Structure 1
């Protein structure tokens, strides 16, 4: 069975590719390497270097003949969306529409779409469930939600099956410092260099941090479950940024000594996602606690740094 993973050389996408290859799937990766890296590409996958909008998308679909498509290629930085909203929309909206058209033309059975908790904006209540009002604060939230509407229309008009996964703040190895969960990567980089991490705002803003391998588990479950459904993928736990850094300092053995900067425009103050629907309908639940996920993440980056020093 053939699968395409857009953004498969990136942070979440590459972990998903690893899992799919280990299951014996034939996996095709489409990535323009704007944020992904060749070092993340699983040798058991077939790599296609290209953009969603460069005209080569149909060629990849024609070669792969995919039954399933995982769509992770995206612009994921809230601040970048505010600075360049047209570019954000071009990647996240027009790019997704190009993928949907290819799915229609080549008879794809199902697409699993990586959405975001950013679609909810500032929560009216916690935990946020899938019935919460859609009120994005940032252009990024808008550009991640708009494709959800297209997905519903493609299902109604053409019978394309889908599952939408709205991610909480994802962290783990291979992550850049950009995006919704990039604070963990930023903190790790500073701590391992003996530098002071920067917290924007007072650090009491809370997030639902979820380890990348739990995100992969939800994606695998969505291949055969959750038809035409929308699911929050999080831990249903709030952690303040101060608490997050304290936990990371305890694991790494570094002192808690952050610098505080001004709060950032477009950031939500508090977020926690209800994962009850995913647990009930996808038969999925997070396997990693915050401590175990951070422990694995810090160990990875520490090993990477030691390898660079030895070279």
Structure 2
């Protein structure tokens, strides 16, 4: 089917109709996997990123690892965000969904104020542009850091779930908490018909990704096995980028409404030592109720995502 009945922007030529999704930060580790997975699943993906994939052509039309277009956008500039979501000459017009992954990642790589301000402003601009344009299908990268990473203060009980207290301990994790708070309020606004007479109630899914890993990084896991404290800071959690991408696809396709947060972690920890022994060694006295009888079972519960999104991680480092 061609896009002859779909509004075209200036200079755009008709092409097969596909649901169009913006992925912000599509050039990052999780972003690359997400762009490739959504593209192979029948979506037309637009990558909003100031970083060009190493394989990208000079004109930004090919070598984009599955994306239809790379659009260089400063997400802290509301004008750029709004315009890029509306249309880009000779490329596209109209967006159906947004996956917001872009952020200054992990603490310690910039001044704290820059990291916080950049992440919060970017998230606000993305959500506000979606509101103005009536885009109600939104998936955002939140963070496992909300659980209190680096866990210098012991968790109240294990495993950690979406209902565990939110304890940001850095400017980065605080920016992610603000992002989830923004999401809750934008959903509330979307429920008010006098504010959004045509858009309808929004779906915003905040995904608290555990430490994202590429397949080639599994070789590094051997360096942690001699000392549980080398990797205790997030309860020994991780997620393969490919499984993270699948969780995002399922979230985009979910019929949920409102704001929902999900922990996205592998079924196993990064350690060969049993989860019970890890808890006893590093978090003695903390109440622990294993999710199942897998000796290496995750301490970051992924049960909610399995139940509500139908997601199951497939890629395992095989301890």
Instruction: With the length of structure 1 as denominator, give the TM-score of the two structures.
Output: 0.71
Q: 1:186: Cα distance to partner?
A: 9.8
Structure 1, residues 206-263: CA drift from partner, whole Å, max 9, x if none? Answer: 42121111101111110122432111111243334999xxxxxxxxxxxxxxxxxxxx
Q: How many residues are paired up? A: 245
1:78 & 1:241 partners in 2: Cα distance? 27
Residue 76 of structure 2: aligned partner: 53
The one of 113, 120, 123 equivalent to 1:86 is 113
Kept in 2, the 8 Å contact 1:21–1:27? The answer is yes
1:66 and 2:95 equivalent?
A: yes
Change in CA separation of 1:146 and 1:204 when aligned onto 2, cut-off 3 Å: closer
SS in 2 for 1:146: helix
Change in CA separation of 1:104 and 1:57 when aligned onto 2, cut-off 3 Å: same
SS in 2 for 1:78: coil
RMSD between superposed Cα atoms in Å: 2.8
1:241 & 1:79 partners in 2: Cα distance? 29
Unmatched runs of 5 consecutive residues or more in structure 1 = 175-183, 244-270, 293-311
The one of 95, 103, 128 equivalent to 2:160 is 128
Kept in 1, the 8 Å contact 2:46–2:67? The answer is no
Name the stretch that deviates more: 107-116 or 121-130: 121-130
Q: Which has the larger radius of gyration?
A: 2
Q: 1:173: Cα distance to partner?
A: 5.5
Kept in 2, the 8 Å contact 1:16–1:216? The answer is yes
Q: 1:77: Cα distance to partner?
A: 1.8
SS in 1 for 2:164: coil
Q: 1:202: Cα distance to partner?
A: 4.8
Instruction: With the length of structure 2 as denominator, give the TM-score of the two structures.
Output: 0.69
Change in CA separation of 1:185 and 1:31 when aligned onto 2, cut-off 3 Å: farther
2:218 & 2:312 partners in 1: Cα distance? 24
Unmatched runs of 5 consecutive residues or more in structure 2 = 1-18, 57-63, 88-92, 191-200, 275-297
Residue 177 of structure 1: aligned partner: none
Kept in 1, the 8 Å contact 2:73–2:84? The answer is no
Residue 43 of structure 2: aligned partner: 25
Q: Which structure carries more helix by proportion?
A: 1
Q: 1:160: Cα distance to partner?
A: 2.5
1:43 & 1:49 partners in 2: Cα distance? 16
